[in-house]
A = this chain, B = another copy of it.
Amino acid sequence: MSPAAGITTPSRWCPTPEQVMILEEIYRNGLKTPNATQIQHITSHLSLYGKIEGKNVFYWFQNHKARDRQKLRRKLYKQLQQHHFLMKRHRFDEHNQFFQYFLPQHHQLVPQLLPLPSPSSHQREGEEEAATEVEGGGRTWLGGDEGRTVAEEDGETTCRTGTLRTLELFPVRASWVEEEEGTSGNGGCGN
């Protein structure tokens, strides 16, 4: 707004090097999401180095954090892509209970741990927790280095992973797979 005569009317904040340095220092020191008070303080200090408003600080932290995460996700995705071809495919049955991961050594199958899913239970994934003390006779973990003494017998089609297919399991929505270097016209902004 405010046409503001001839002189530079920067439509957006243009941070000075000092401001950027200070912001990055603060960020590196662990302040990722400043609250209003902190934004105020940062702003008033940075204003010594140039014109700045609170919203600039606020946006700076938002963007910086977001782009940090984005960068990390990209890197991660590349790594995962690298490993993806190492994996073989294998079919597995879908099991829904996570406590099958415990394999009680001898007996004691803890009947209350698997409280029979009602046919239309949405199973909101927040509340099951509670795990209820499975300890006692000792348990072994699948996939550990030791154990592995169980379940291979009764036609237990559970895990017995000889081969590991992994990635396609997860609902990776891959919002970060999107562009590969310059597909979206940044300058164009097709609107």
Q: What is the CB-to-nearest-CB distance from A171 to chain B, in angstroms, rounded to a whole number? A: 5
Q: Chain A at the B interface: mostly helix, strand, loop or mixed?
A: loop
1/0 per residue, CB under 8 A from B, across A26-64: the answer is 101111111111111111111011010111001000100
1/0 per residue, CB under 8 A from B, across A1-32: the answer is 10000000000000101101110111011111
A125 at the interface (CB under 8 A from B): yes
Within the oligomer, what is the number of copies of this chain?
2
Q: In the bound complex, what is the Cα–Cα distance between A48 and B183 (angstroms)?
A: 26
* A58 interface neighbour in B33, B83, B101, B165, Cβ under 8 Å: B101
Q: In the bound complex, what is the Cα–Cα distance between A69 and B62 (angstroms)?
A: 22
A97 at the interface (CB under 8 A from B): yes
Contact yes or no, A28 B184, CB < 8 A = yes
Residues of B with C-beta under 8 A to A125: 32-33, 65
A158 at the interface (CB under 8 A from B): yes
Contact yes or no, B183 A68, CB < 8 A = yes
Contact yes or no, A54 B98, CB < 8 A = no
* A135 interface neighbour in B1, B49, B174, Cβ under 8 Å: B1
